[in-house]
Amino acid sequence: MSARSRPPSDPATRAAWLTDEIRRHDRLYYDLDRPELSDPEYDALLRELRDLEAAHPGLLRPDSPTQRVRDAAVEGLRQAGHRLPMLSLENTYADGEVREWVDSIAEFLGAQPAELVFSCEPKLDGVALEVIYEHGRLAQAITRGDGRTGDDVTHTVRTIRGLPHGLRAPPPRLEARGEVIMTRASFERVNKAREAAGEELFINPRNTASGTLKLLDPALAARRPLDMLCYGLGEAEGLVSTATGAPPRGHREAMQALAALGLPTALELSVRGGLDAVLAQHAALLARRDELPFEVDGTVIKVDDFRLQERLGLRARSPRWAIAFKFPARQGTTVVLDIHVQVGRTGTLTPVAVVAPVHVSGVTIENITLHNRDEIARLAVKPGDRVLIERAGDVIPHIVAVTQAAPGEPWRMPAHCPVCRTPVREVAGAVAVRCPNPQCPGVLKRRIGHFVARDAMDIEGVGEKLIDQLVDGGLARRLADLYALDEATLAGLERMGELSARNVLEGLAASRTRPLARLLAGLGILHVGGTVAEKLADHFGTLEALRAASREDLQGLAGIGPAVAASVRAFLDDPIERENLDLLLVRGVRPAPAVRRAGGPLAGQTFLFTGTLAKLSRREAAERVKALGGTLLSGVSANLGVLVVGEKPGSKLKQAQELGVRVMEEEEFVRMVEGLGG
Using one digit for the tens of pLDDT, what is the confidence trace for 579-588? 999 999 999 9
pLDDT band at 302 (very low <50, low <70, confident <90, very high): very high
Cβ-contact 408, 382 below 8 angstroms: yes
Q: Which CATH class name applies to 331-415? A: mainly beta
d(CA 537, CA 558): 13
Question: 331-415 with 516-586: one CATH topology?
Answer: no
pLDDT at 594: 57
Q: What share of the chain is helix, strand, coil (3-state, %, to 5)?
A: 40, 20, 40
Q: pLDDT digits over 5-23, tens only?
A: 445 668 888 888 888 888 8
User: What is the CATH code for 441-511?
Assistant: 1.10.150.20
Q: pLDDT digits over 317-376, tens only?
A: 889 999 999 987 677 889 999 999 999 888 889 999 999 998 776 678 899 989 888 888
Q: What is the pTM of this model?
A: 0.50
pLDDT band at 51 (very low <50, low <70, confident <90, very high): confident
Higher pLDDT, 560 or 329: 560
Q: pLDDT digits over 416-442, tens only?
A: 999 999 999 987 766 788 999 988 999
pLDDT band at 623 (very low <50, low <70, confident <90, very high): confident
pLDDT for residue 570 is more than 90: yes
From residue 418, give the alpha-carbon distance in Å to each of 314, 336, 340, 356, 445: 57, 19, 9, 23, 14
pLDDT for residue 71 is more than 60: no
pLDDT for residue 172 is more than 50: yes
pLDDT for residue 274 is more than 80: no
pLDDT at 6: 45
Q: How does strand 173-181 pair with strand 227-237?
A: antiparallel
pLDDT for residue 395 is more than 80: no
User: What is the CATH code for 11-67?
Assistant: 1.10.287.610
Cβ-contact 478, 448 below 8 angstroms: no
Higher pLDDT, 632 or 73: 632
d(CA 17, CA 24): 11
Query: 79-326 is classed in which CATH architecture?
Result: 2-Layer Sandwich (3.30)
Q: Where are the domains of the chain?
A: 11-67, 79-326, 331-415, 441-511, 516-586, 606-675
pLDDT at 123: 93
**Average pLDDT rounded to a whole number, residues 655-669:** 88
pLDDT at 333: 85
pLDDT for residue 282 is more than 70: yes
Q: Which CATH class name applies to 516-586? A: mainly alpha
Q: Work out whether the CA dihedral 600, 601, 606, 607 comes out positive or negative.
A: negative
pLDDT for residue 72 is more than 80: no
Higher pLDDT, 228 or 199: 228
Higher pLDDT, 182 or 25: 182
pLDDT at 393: 45
Cβ-contact 455, 619 below 8 angstroms: yes
pLDDT for residue 3 is more than 50: no
In terms of phi and psi (left: phi > 0; alpha: psi -120 to 50; beta: otherwise), the region of 264 is: beta
pLDDT at 10: 80
Pick from 42-56, 294-308, 590-604 the range whose average pLDDT is largest.
294-308
Phi and psi at residue 655, to the nearest 5°: -60, -40
pLDDT at 7: 56
From residue 3, give the alpha-carbon distance in Å to each of 21, 372, 378: 12, 8, 7
Q: pLDDT digits over 437-480, tens only?
A: 988 999 999 999 999 998 899 998 999 999 999 999 999 999 99
Query: 606-675 is classed in which CATH architecture?
Result: 3-Layer(aba) Sandwich (3.40)
pLDDT at 93: 85
pLDDT at 4: 41
**Average pLDDT rounded to a whole number, residues 573-601:** 85
* Residues designated as active site: 123
- Other beta carbons within 10 Å of 649: 22
